[in-house]
């Protein structure tokens, strides 16, 4: 009993944008892995193609049921993700000094990626129930803080500070969206500063302060992050107006870029396609984000609206942090660029997000 | 739907969403502005920099810390190695250049030619290593003829240098390239492949102090790879200097005395636990490991039946033989199963169960009291003490003496030894303990195994009135500026569980061993200094078996190990020693003279030979 209106209301525009971004992503990834280090990197491209295939299926599944079911079963989703995070903590695979991965045969997953979606759903459920227009007070914020804090701490322990920080940013954005009462906002920001200052001067050791300063300003570490950033800036800047051409990026080809297929993939694109290519990508993201916000705009159900805003916040923050980082505007953190960076878990999360957005979009008539 | 009507209307949400869109637009604007700055405004500049990948990282290696002995004599340093390189494209015609180089620096021309024979392609443009470590004389010649030698370049590299080749080789250890397995370990997180790390000995166990922190330079280079400007520099931090407790004069003497023998000697200060000498023989030359060990040399080292790479002082496990009687005596007196005046008659053997246990002296010792039993090492006396004690009580005292457990000295792969108990044997072999085995254990045979270091530490505890100190090789670690990073203070690990009166009786017996008229180690006497000690002769195979072998030549490997433990002066001791000589036969003849010479060297009865380390430079802040 498929309702015909589903087809009528199906958001073809968002789907087209998704395919556009996916194409740009695959093209750039091809260059990043083919021109860079040879085998076994070549298989990365094939792997990413397969992940896109899986992502499309998962996206389709996310469309099939009414998104309101997620509101009802938010606890189930959230609880499942927390269990996965605990599982990783004890049985996850150590790679490069951190424990983030669950390995099932040839497939490995990062539950921390899924945690972002779970937190968004839980928060949307809570805020939809209690949003009042007057803004949330300290009392009303207790539950959301706990919702975000549990996965946050589990992910910090892995350690994956990038993803943990992202969850914090998403939760903060959603909370600001549903409005914090003015006095409460003052208290929170005031006490934040009041706690940070003595922490900085009395509790942190000198080397810890140095580490934070270096994090904020990579130039302080000219042999590590600072070096990566200057190479990335050279790659982007040398792209000039029209770029060096597909597969012609020298910074990319000679592996002067670190993590060129994951966190620094934007530099590859900007080097080979120049200002024009980079602006087109940023515009594509901008249109995508506005489109998603428009879905929130036209949805008449608070849960759907807040859910769409949360998902948009997730994608928007990742875009801003990742591109800001490779251009030397932000600290160096491991945050992937949605649709573009290599990585199965990240891609899966992005495709689930698109699925949920499509779901909200095509069911907007049900409330009207 | 009623729920949301009560709370907020969609107009409110739309208002909030407009604000969100504004924020997003601002963020996008910032990104695009930055893009304009990087790609349009700075684009030319970055394009230029990317053309020759002009930003490079250059590593600045950190000098490794130096190692000194307790008096500040330099033992391990870093010396420059002058390595000869050639840039083939600048050296043309290559044959002529190489020919001149060979004549000037008296090098083998064919050898040089071989190094560059196969060089093609990209490598042609990079400097190629011609010869490592050419030495100062050759360097001077090459420098003087620079204009005659186009494309020839000398690069300086730091090489680890063990100042006195072969001295304290096991103890100091050596460094080598980090391997894949080590790279994965957490303690080497800062290291990368190609790095040199401590592989054995102090070089390894104090790696964290000795290794400095690598620095680096971010530089801009031109198309020829020459540095145009240095953008950032992070200075390297030198490793810390280590001051050992070793007295290099005593160490060298110990190694001389063990030369041509397989064995070990350990000497320490009984009042602090500081190791003054720790020698193992045969040894090897650590410098061979630095400049590259040939396959033949390596095979010779690992196939040598005398195991030169093993540190016999800490890794070698031997039956303690009669030196163990010190423990049996302490246990017997303390437990009251024997008193010092009790007389036991020794007819040369002791019948227990169905077996006859022999005393080493066939004719017997006659009437024996404690003092005589220790002085003349009467087996029959200690068979009976052991029998009265039982294996588990005896084992308790051995463990209290520090046997059967690692001492915790700063060296890797330390042996634990074995203190047998009834439960241990049952678990190990499944066969219950036989009472007769207790008799063997009581005289240090049977399942007992100890390391020379354990025996030295135990002897030091007897000497110091029962206090067992943590043995250590490290006196101090200091930064290049001379600041203390670590200063080792004497640490008491345990006390021997015996009354002062008991200990005094044992000490008197040990004095009698050397100074008494009929002691087994009269050979260890030193003029003017009273020495206390105990000999031991460890059977490698049972006596019956030796008699079965007819051919005298094959007997060396069946010969007994010779032990001697000692301390001196007997009153207020300043030196405790354990010596083992593998297949040295008698403790008195093979091991005791080594200890005697060490005592002479350290406590100074005879004028000393010129000190080995006197010529070397003093520590900067020693």
What does B78-125 look like in DSSP terms, one character per residue? EEEEEEEEE-TTTS-SHHHHHHHHHHHTT--HHHHHHHHHT--GGGGG
Q: Is the pLDDT higher at A316 or at B430?
A: A316
Q: How confident is the model at residue B559 (pLDDT cuts 50, 70, 90)?
A: confident
From A364-368, B343-347, B546-550, the region with the lowest mean pLDDT: B546-550
Task: Please report, rounded to a whole number, the percentage of residues in chain A having pLDDT higher than 90.
Answer: 54
Q: Above 70 in pLDDT, residue B7?
A: no
Contact, B280 vs B310, CB < 8 A? yes
- Of A303, A298, A308, give the one whose Cα is nearest residue A356: A308
pLDDT at B607 over 50: no
Q: What is the mean pLDDT of residues A248-255?
A: 67
d(CA A220, CA A137) in angstroms, rounded, equals 40
By the CB < 8 Å criterion, does B229 face chain A?
no
Go through chain B and tell me how many residues it has: 622
Phi-psi label, residue A150: left if phi above 0, alpha if psi -120 to 50, beta otherwise: alpha
d(CA A21, CA B241): 58
Fold of B58-244: Penicillin-binding protein 2a (Domain 2) (3.90.1310)
Chain A: closest CA distance from residue B621 (Å): 28
C-alpha pair distances (Å), B160 with each of A186, A205, B244, B287, B530? 62, 35, 18, 8, 43
Q: Which pLDDT belongs to residue B555?
A: 57
Q: Into how many domains does chain A fold?
A: 1
Q: Are A254 and B55 in contact (CB under 8 A)?
A: no
How far the first Cα of chain A sits from its last, in Å, is: 20
Token code pair at residue A282: 């940023």
Residue A362 is given by DSSP the state H
Tell me whether residues B55 and A222 touch, CB distance under 8 A: no
Mean per-residue pLDDT for A43-60?
91
Residues 33-72, chain B: which have Cβ within 8 Å of A?
34-36, 38-40, 42-47, 49-51, 53, 55, 57
Residue B403 has pLDDT above 70, yes or no: yes
The residue with greater pLDDT, B49 or A126, is A126
Q: Cβ–Cβ of A234/B16 closer than 8 Å?
A: no
Phi, psi of A286 (to 5 degrees): -60, -45
Q: What is the DSSP letter of B587?
A: I
Asked if the model's pLDDT at residue B553 lies above 80, the reply is: no
Q: Output A102 or B596, whichever has higher pLDDT.
A: B596
The 3 state secondary structure assigned to B415-459 is CCCECCCHHHHHHHHCCCCCHHHHHHHHCCCCCCEECHHHHHHHH
Contacts of A48 (CB under 8 A, 6+ apart): A26, A29, A342, A344, A347
Contact B442, B386 (CB under 8 A): yes
Mean pLDDT, residues A169-188 taken together: 93
* Strand partners for B221: B227
CB contact under 8 A, A302 and B47: no
Instruction: Report which of B621, B598, B439 is spatially closest to residue B533, judged by C-alpha positions.
Output: B598
- What is the pLDDT at residue B450? 96
Asked if B473 and B276 touch (Cβ cutoff 8 Å), the reply is: no
For B403, the token pair is 């046997």
Say which range, A128-132, A135-139, B224-228, has the weakest mean pLDDT: B224-228
Q: What is the pLDDT of residue B2?
A: 42
- Mention every residue, 6+ apart, whose C-beta is less than 8 A from residue A15: A354, A358
Task: Give the mean pLDDT of A347-356.
Answer: 96
Q: Which of B557, B601, B561, B560 is nearest to B580 (CA)?
A: B561
Q: Between β-strands B467-469 and B366-368, what pairing exists: parallel, antiparallel or unpaired?
A: unpaired
Q: Which of A234, A249, A270, A271 to mutate to test the interface with B (most CBs of B within 10 A)?
A: A234
Band (pLDDT 50/70/90 cuts) for residue B552 is: very low
Lookup: tokens for A75? 């606890």
Kindly state the average pLDDT of the residues B87-91. 76
Write out chain A residues lying below 8 Å of B22, CB-based: none
State the pLDDT at residue A77.
94
Most confident of A269-278, B122-131, B221-230: A269-278
Chains A, B: CB pairs < 8 Å: 141
Active-site residues of B: which are they?
Answer: 322
Q: Residue B93: is the preceding peptide bond cis (ω within 30°)? A: yes
| Mean pLDDT, chain B, whole residue set | 86
Distant-in-sequence, close-in-space partners of B616: CB < 8 Å, separation ≥ 6 = B73, B74, B163
Q: Chain-centre distance of CA B144, in angstroms?
A: 43
pTM of whole model > 0.80? no
The third-level CATH classification (topology) of the domain covering B248-282+311-603 is Beta-lactamase (3.40.710)
Residue B366, Cα to own-chain centre: how many angstroms?
46
B57, containing H or E segment:
strand B55-60
Q: Do A238 and B47 touch (CB under 8 A)?
A: yes
* Complex-level ipTM: 0.92
Q: What pLDDT is attached to residue B611?
A: 44
For residue B215, the chain A residue with the least C-alpha distance is A223
Please report which helix (H) or strand (E) contains residue B513, including its range.
helix B500-515
Convert the pLDDT of each residue in B93-139 to its tens digit: 888 888 888 888 777 888 788 877 776 665 666 677 788 888 888 88
- With a cut of 70, say whether residue A313 has pLDDT above it: yes
In this prediction, residue B388 carries a pLDDT of: 94
Closest CA to B322 of B568, B592, B563: B563
CA torsion angle for A66, A353, A161, A342 (degrees, to 10)? 140
In this structure, how many other beta carbons lie within 10 angstroms of the beta carbon of residue B426? 12
Q: How far is A297 from chain B (nearest CA, A)?
A: 6
Residues paired with residue B244 on neighbouring β-strands, in sequence order: B474
Residue B123 in tokens: 């490598």
Tokens of B17: 């969403």
What is the b/e burial string over A35-57, where b = at least 16 CB atoms within 10 angstroms of the residue's CB? bbeeeebeebbebbeebbeebbe
**Domain extent at residue A120:** 4-366
Report whether the peptide linkage leading into residue A353 is cis, meaning its omega lies within 30 degrees of zero.
Answer: no
Most confident range, picked from A31-40, A249-258, B187-196, B521-530: B521-530
Q: Which residue of A has its CA nearest to B36?
A: A275
CA dist A16 and A4 (Å) reads 21
Under DSSP, the state recorded for A200 is I
Is B345 an interface residue toward A (CB < 8 Å)? no
**Number of residues written out for chain A:** 368
- Tell which residue, B167, B191, B170, has the closest CA to residue B181: B191
Please give the sequence-ordered ranges of beta strands (E in DSSP) within A111-256, or none if there are none: none
Residues A354-364 have a mean pLDDT of 92
Contacts with A285 from chain B: Cβ below 8 Å = 28
**pLDDT on residue A42:** 61
């Amino acid at each position: 009993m498929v309702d015909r209106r589903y087809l009528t209301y199906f958001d073809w525009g968002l789907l087209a944008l998704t395919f556009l971004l996916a194409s740009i992503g695959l093209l750039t990834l091809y260059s990043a892995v083919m021109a860079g280090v040879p085998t076994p990197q070549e298989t990365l491209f094939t792997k990413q193609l397969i992940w896109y295939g899986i992502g499309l299926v998962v996206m389709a599944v996310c469309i099939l049921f009414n998104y309101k079911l997620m509101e009802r079963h938010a606890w189930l989703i959230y609880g499942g993700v927390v269990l996965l995070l605990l599982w990783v903590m004890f049985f996850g695979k150590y790679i490069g000094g951190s424990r983030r991965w669950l390995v099932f045969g040839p497939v490995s997953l990062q539950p921390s990626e899924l945690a972002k979606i779970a937190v968004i759903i839980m928060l949307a459920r809570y805020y939809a129930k209690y949003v009042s227009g007057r803004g949330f007070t300290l009392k009303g914020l207790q539950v959301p803080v706990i919702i975000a804090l549990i996965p946050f701490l589990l992910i910090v322990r892995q350690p994956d500070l990038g993803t943990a920080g992202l969850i914090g940013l998403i939760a903060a954005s959603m909370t600001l969206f549903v409005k914090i009462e003015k006095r409460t906002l003052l208290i929170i920001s005031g006490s934040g500063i009041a706690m940070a200052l003595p922490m900085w001067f009395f509790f942190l050791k000198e080397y810890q302060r140095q580490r934070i300063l270096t994090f904020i300003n990579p130039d302080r570490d000219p042999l590590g992050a600072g070096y990566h950033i200057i190479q990335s800036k050279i790659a982007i800047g040398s792209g000039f107006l029209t770029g060096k051409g597909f597969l012609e990026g020298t910074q990319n080809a000679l592996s002067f870029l670190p993590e060129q297929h994951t966190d620094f993939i934007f530099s590859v694109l900007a080097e080979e396609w120049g200002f024009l290519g980079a602006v087109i990508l940023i515009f594509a993201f901008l249109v995508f984000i506005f489109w998603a916000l428009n879905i929130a705009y036209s949805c008449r159900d608070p849960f759907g609206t807040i859910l769409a805003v949360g998902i948009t916040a997730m994608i928007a923050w990742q875009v801003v942090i990742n591109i800001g980082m490779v251009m030397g505007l932000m600290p160096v953190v491991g945050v992937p660029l949605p649709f573009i960076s290599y990585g199965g878990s990240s891609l899966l999360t992005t495709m689930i997000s698109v699925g949920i957005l499509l779901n909200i979009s095509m069911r907007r008539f049900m409330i009207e | 739907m009623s729920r949301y009507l009560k709370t907020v209307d969609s107009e409110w949400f739309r208002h909030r969403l407009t604000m969100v869109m504004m924020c997003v637009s601002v963020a996008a604007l910032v990104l695009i502005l930055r893009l304009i700055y990087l790609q349009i405004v700075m684009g030319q500049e970055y394009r230029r920099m990317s053309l020759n990948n002009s930003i490079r990282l250059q590593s600045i290696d950190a000098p490794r810390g130096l190692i000194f002995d307790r008096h500040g004599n330099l033992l391990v340093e870093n010396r420059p190695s002058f390595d000869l390189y050639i840039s083939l494209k600048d050296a043309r015609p290559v044959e002529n250049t190489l020919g001149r180089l060979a004549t000037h620096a008296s090098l083998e021309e064919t050898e040089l030619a071989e190094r560059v024979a196969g060089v093609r392609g990209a490598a042609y443009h990079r400097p190629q290593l011609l010869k490592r470590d050419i030495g100062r004389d050759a360097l001077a010649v090459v420098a003087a003829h620079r204009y005659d030698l186009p494309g020839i370049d000398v690069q300086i590299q730091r090489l680890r240098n063990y100042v006195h080749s072969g001295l304290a080789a096991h103890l100091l250890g050596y460094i080598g390239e980090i391997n894949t397995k080590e790279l994965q370990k957490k303690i080497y997180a800062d290291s990368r492949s190609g790095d040199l790390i401590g592989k054995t000995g102090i070089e390894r166990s104090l790696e964290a102090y000795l290794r400095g922190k690598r620095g680096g330079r971010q530089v801009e280079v031109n198309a020829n790879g020459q540095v145009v400007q240095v953008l950032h520099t992070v200075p390297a931090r030198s490793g810390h200097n280590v001051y050992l407790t070793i007295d290099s004069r005593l160490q060298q003497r110990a190694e001389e005395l063990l030369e041509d023998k397989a064995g070990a000697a350990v000497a320490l200060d009984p009042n602090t636990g500081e190791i003054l000498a720790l020698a193992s023989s045969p040894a090897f030359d650590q410098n061979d490991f630095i400049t590259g060990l040939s396959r033949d040399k390596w095979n010779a080292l690992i196939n040598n039946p005398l195991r030169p790479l093993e540190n016999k002082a800490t890794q070698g496990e031997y039956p303690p033989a009669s030196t163990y009687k010190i423990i049996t005596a302490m246990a017997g007196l303390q437990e009251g199963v024997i008193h010092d005046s009790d007389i036991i008659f020794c007819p040369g053997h002791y019948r227990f169960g169905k077996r006859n246990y022999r005393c080493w002296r066939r004719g017997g010792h006659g009437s024996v009291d404690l003092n005589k039993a220790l002085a003349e090492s009467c087996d029959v006396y200690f068979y009976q003490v052991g029998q009265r004690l039982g294996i588990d009580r005896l084992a308790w005292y051995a463990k209290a003496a520090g046997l059967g457990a690692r001492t915790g000295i700063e060296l890797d792969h330390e042996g634990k030894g074995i203190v047998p108990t009834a439960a241990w044997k049952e678990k190990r072999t499944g066969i219950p303990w036989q009472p007769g085995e207790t008799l063997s254990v009581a005289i240090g045979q049977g399942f007992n195994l100890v390391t020379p270091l354990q025996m030295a530490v135990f002897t030091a505890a007897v000497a110091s009135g029962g206090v067992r100190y943590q043995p250590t090789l490290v006196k101090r670690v200091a930064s290049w500026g001379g600041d203390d990073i670590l200063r080792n203070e004497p640490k008491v690990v345990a006390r021997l569980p015996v009354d002062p009166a008991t200990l005094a009786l044992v000490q008197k017996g040990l004095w009698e061993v050397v100074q008494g008229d009929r002691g087994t180690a009269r050979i260890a006497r030193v003029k003017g200094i009273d020495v206390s000690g105990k000999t031991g002769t460890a059977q490698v195979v049972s006596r019956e078996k030796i008699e079965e072998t007819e051919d005298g030549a094959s007997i060396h490997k069946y010969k007994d190990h010779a032990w001697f433990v000692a301390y001196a002066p007997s009153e207020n001791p300043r030196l405790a020693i354990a010596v083992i000589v593998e297949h040295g036969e008698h403790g008195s003849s093979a091991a005791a003279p080594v200890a005697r010479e060490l005592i002479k060297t350290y406590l100074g009865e005879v004028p000393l030979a010129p000190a080995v380390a006197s010529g070397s430079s003093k520590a900067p802040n020693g």
